[in-house]
Amino acid sequence: MGEPRTAAITRRQAVQAAGTAGAAYLLAPSLTGMLGDGTAIAASRCATLTPELTEGPYWVNTMLRRSDVRSNSRGGGRQAGVPLRLTINVVNSSNGCQPLDGVAVDIWHANANGLYSDESSQQSGGGTTGGNTSSADWLRGYQITGKDRGLNHKPVRGQVGFETIWPGWYSGRAIHIHVRVRTLSRSGATIAGYTTQIFFTDAANNRVLTGAPPYNTRSPQDDPTTNENDTILTSAAHATNVVAVKGSLKHGFVATFNIVLNNAEVDATGSLSRPTLGGAGGGPPVP
């Protein structure tokens, strides 16, 4: 059950395909950009936009503003799995790599059995057929950069954070987490939106899938689609969207993902919108 590629190539994809020469036209900072938490992004990396990747078939505008996405919003349904604390930084390459505040960052992904919540039917592979999960909303949620504290004691510029679990695999895709960056109007309507995906190394995935329940109770245990043969993960995205993790199976893992946009993509007039990758919709208001 793969996710189809978008047929039309976007300006962003054309820039990525052009490589370093194509990226040179961006307003890259001459100094190292600093994220709100003090983490530095080298100027050369800040000049490279994070590739946009398809939203896939399982986007649902749940309007759940929360950092802990492991359970249903109405209680119960806590998903079993290896804990994952995920930090996402959003920066503007055209503004000296400054943190981008005030945008909604959504995540959604499959549970340990390869199933998404809020879906009437799905096929995860590995002998597990998903039933109707439309009454559930686990492993979905959003935070506002610079306004919500995420995993911190107080908000951090350009940053959000989520408590979740390591995603499980399903047929046709390497393990991944979907991410959407949205500009919202005061009424909650989506003015603009950008989507991408987070991946982990094959070695890290195999470590989880074979070493911890409930992942290791599935057959096969290993993710049958690796990063190398995933049809969505491009070579450009491999360099920016495959994240390193720290931690253990016993205590869980931490990971940080950096999203680099530019002025044309953070303008609230709607230039973030990618009609071929999902239209605008309603959403929670930004206070």
State the pLDDT at residue 63: 87
**DSSP 8-state secondary structure symbol assigned to residue 65:** B
Mean pLDDT, the chain cut into blocks of 10 residues (287 residues total): 40 34 25 42 69 90 94 93 97 84 93 92 63 90 96 95 96 94 72 86 97 92 91 94 97 96 58 33 34
Rounded CA-CA distance 86/44 in Å is: 24
pLDDT at res. 41 = 57
What distances in angstroms separate CA 158 from CA 22, 260, 281, one per listed residue? Answer: 26, 11, 23
For residue 29, the model assigns a pLDDT of: 28
**What DSSP character marks residue 147?**
T
pLDDT of 211: 97
Please list, residue by residue across 146-169, b when 16 or more beta carbons sit within 10 angstroms of its beta carbon and e when fewer do.
bbbebbeeebbbbbbbbbbbbbbb
Farthest-apart Cα atoms in the chain, separation: 52
Residue 32 lies in a domain: yes
Task: Tell me which residue range forms the domain holding 68.
Answer: 11-277
pLDDT at 124: 64
- 188 is a domain residue: yes
- Whether 6 is covered by a domain: the verdict is no
Is position 112 within any domain?
A: yes
Residue 5, domain member (yes or no): no
pLDDT at residue 38 in the model:
42
Domain assignment of residue 285, yes or no: no
Q: Give a yes or no: residue 122 inside a domain.
A: yes
pLDDT of residue 1: 45
What is the tally of structural domains in the chain? 1
Give domain status of residue 113, yes or no.
yes
- What CATH number is associated with residue 41? 2.60.130.10
